[in-house]
Amino acid sequence: MDIILAVVPPVVEAARVISQEAAAGGDITDDGMKFVAAALVMGIGAIGPSLAIGNLVGRAMDALGRNPEAQPVIQTNMILGLAFAEAIGIYALVVAIMIGFVF
């Protein structure tokens, strides 16, 4: 779900820019290509963190099922791992925004 929410807005904006350029009789411009690149960066950049978060939570639940007494240690390490995995997704978002609006 995160991937869909991350990819749809830049793709829609890219399609809008490209369709406006095509209607004007021109080729695809740099603006259109920037939005396509931003959509690709965000889409590909969201795949890794989503897989990591799913894997991390699944393994934490397995560990809790085997050893419920270790819940505080497992939960602390899981939350720390989730923060690091989510940071990678935020880096992808920052790069996509930079491509779309700065470069």
Domains of the chain, residue spans: 2-101
Please determine, looking at this structure, whether the domain spanning 2-101 carries the CATH number 3.40.47.10: no
Q: Write out the two tokens for 11.
A: 């793709």
pLDDT by position in tens, the chain (length 103): 566 667 677 777 777 777 776 666 666 677 778 888 888 888 888 888 989 999 999 999 999 999 999 999 999 999 999 999 999 889 988 998 898 888 7
Predicted local distance difference test score (pLDDT) of residue 18 = 73
User: Angle at CA 19, nearest 5°, toward 93 and 89?
Assistant: 10
Q: How far apart are the first and last CA of the chain?
A: 28
Q: Count CB atoms within 10 A of the CB of residue 35.
A: 24
Predicted local distance difference test score (pLDDT) of residue 4 = 67
